């Protein structure tokens, strides 16, 4: 699931408040103008119960899971 998919069921302003960012910042991430901040990945994974994998949020840093690193 992507952040955009998740926000179809969760309020963008509430998520922004939980992450201590603006809803405009969330929009910029979804539209590809900014990258998701690494410092918020754990918080987002907690909020979404792991529905948005970190490799989806930051593929430039995290590799997708393989059988060896599940």
- Binned at pLDDT 50, 70 and 90, residue 65 comes out as confident
Domains of the chain, residue spans: 3-69
Which helix (H) or strand (E) element contains residue 17? helix 12-19
Which H or E run contains 23?
Answer: helix 23-30
Q: Which CATH architecture has domain 3-69?
A: Orthogonal Bundle (1.10)
DSSP for residue 36: P
Res. 66 pLDDT band, cuts 50 70 90: confident
pLDDT digits (tens, 9 = 90+) for 7-57: 999 999 999 999 999 999 999 999 999 999 999 999 999 999 999 999 999
Sign of CA dihedral 9, 57, 39, 26: negative
**Contacts of 12 by beta carbon, 8 Å cutoff, 6+ apart:** 23, 26, 27
């Amino acid at each position: 699931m992507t952040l955009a998919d998740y926000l179809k069921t969760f309020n963008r302003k509430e998520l922004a408040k939980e992450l201590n960012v603006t809803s405009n910042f969330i929009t910029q991430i979804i539209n590809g103008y900014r990258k998701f901040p690494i410092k918020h990945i754990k918080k987002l994974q907690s909020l979404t119960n792991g529905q948005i994998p970190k490799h989806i949020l930051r593929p430039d840093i995290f590799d997708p899971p393989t059988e060896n690193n599940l």
